């Protein structure tokens, strides 16, 4: 295996870490990044060639979209999202945090968005235009990467840079939801429980994994 360059996040000033990773992403590269849940692998939003590389690296079904991490609420709105009242409540109350919300963009295309509770990766997203595509740093179907070493073992031959921030803080993937028909549909269970979603969203929560 070819080991990619590794930057320990405490070894440089944060601005240097972000600048190095942003250069890789803007050049079409793949970078392993820490988040508040598990380690992810990122590409620049809108870079079709890098996205194809990411699918190949993970052996991921091309029909499964790659979610987006945003620097903040403003970046999500700038991407063309006009949230419903329920989506707005979830975004305002549970971001930054481990909740991915599938949101409509412009003419109706849907994308999964999340604002992570991790300052470094939010600032990296900001340096790349506000949004990156990020998915777990593992081969599809395998356990998520809980530290940089896990990510290197899984994807080391395919990525161009690894940011090593120590063990994952959360260790549990984000909850993925979609809001429609007056309910919150849980597409993937995760760190945010249905009880919290119902309290914040003020609508019923149902299992939407098959729908």
Query: Domain span at residue 124?
Result: 6-71+115-173
3-class SS of residue 172:
coil
Q: Within 10 Å of residue 7's Cβ, how many Cβ atoms?
A: 18
Residue 27 maps to which CATH number?
3.90.870.10
140 within a domain of the structure (yes/no) = yes
What percentage of the chain carries pLDDT values higher than 90?
90
Please say if the pLDDT value at position 63 is more than 60. Answer: yes
Residue 97 lies in a domain: no
Q: Quick check: is 207 in a domain?
A: no
Structural domain contains residue 205:
no
Residues 18 and 123: beta-carbon distance below 8 Å: yes
Assigned domain for 40 exists: yes
pLDDT for 210 beyond 80: no
**Does residue 106 belong to any structural domain of this protein?**
no
Residue-level pLDDT at 177: 98
What is the reported pLDDT for 26?
A: 97
Q: In which residue are the tokens 């029909």 written?
A: 63
Domain assignment present for residue 98? The answer is no
Q: Give the mean pLDDT of the chain.
A: 95
Number of independent structural domains in the chain: 1
Helix axes 119-127, 14-26, angle to 10 degrees: 50
Report whether pLDDT(211) > 80: no
Residue 73, helix vs strand vs coil: helix
> CA-to-CA distance for 99 and 90, rounded, in angstroms?
9
Decide if 146 is inside a domain.
yes
Residues 145-196 have pLDDT tens digits of 999 999 999 999 999 999 999 999 888 999 999 999 889 999 999 999 999 9
């Amino acid at each position: 295996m070819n080991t990619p360059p590794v930057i320990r996040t405490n070894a440089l000033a944060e601005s240097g870490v972000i600048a190095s990773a942003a250069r890789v992403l803007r050049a079409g590269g793949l970078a392993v990044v820490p988040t508040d849940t598990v380690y992810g692998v990122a590409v620049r939003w809108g870079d079709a060639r890098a996205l194809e590389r990411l699918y190949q690296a993970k052996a991921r079904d091309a029909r499964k979209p790659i979610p987006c991490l945003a620097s903040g609420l403003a970046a999500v709105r700038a991407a063309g999202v006009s949230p419903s009242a329920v989506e707005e409540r979830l975004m305002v109350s549970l971001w930054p945090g481990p909740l991915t919300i599938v949101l409509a963009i412009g003419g109706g295309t849907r994308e999964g968005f999340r604002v992570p509770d991790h300052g470094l990766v939010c600032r990296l997203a900001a340096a790349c235009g506000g949004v990156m595509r990020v998915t777990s740093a593992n081969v599809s179907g395998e356990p998520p990467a809980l530290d940089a070493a896990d990510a290197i073992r899984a994807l080391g031959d395919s990525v161009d840079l690894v940011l090593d921030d120590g063990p994952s803080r959360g260790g549990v993937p984000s909850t993925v939801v979609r809001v429609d028909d007056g309910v919150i549909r849980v597409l993937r269970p995760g760190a945010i429980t249905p009880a919290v979603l119902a309290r914040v969203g003020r609508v019923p929560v149902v299992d939407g994994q098959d729908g």
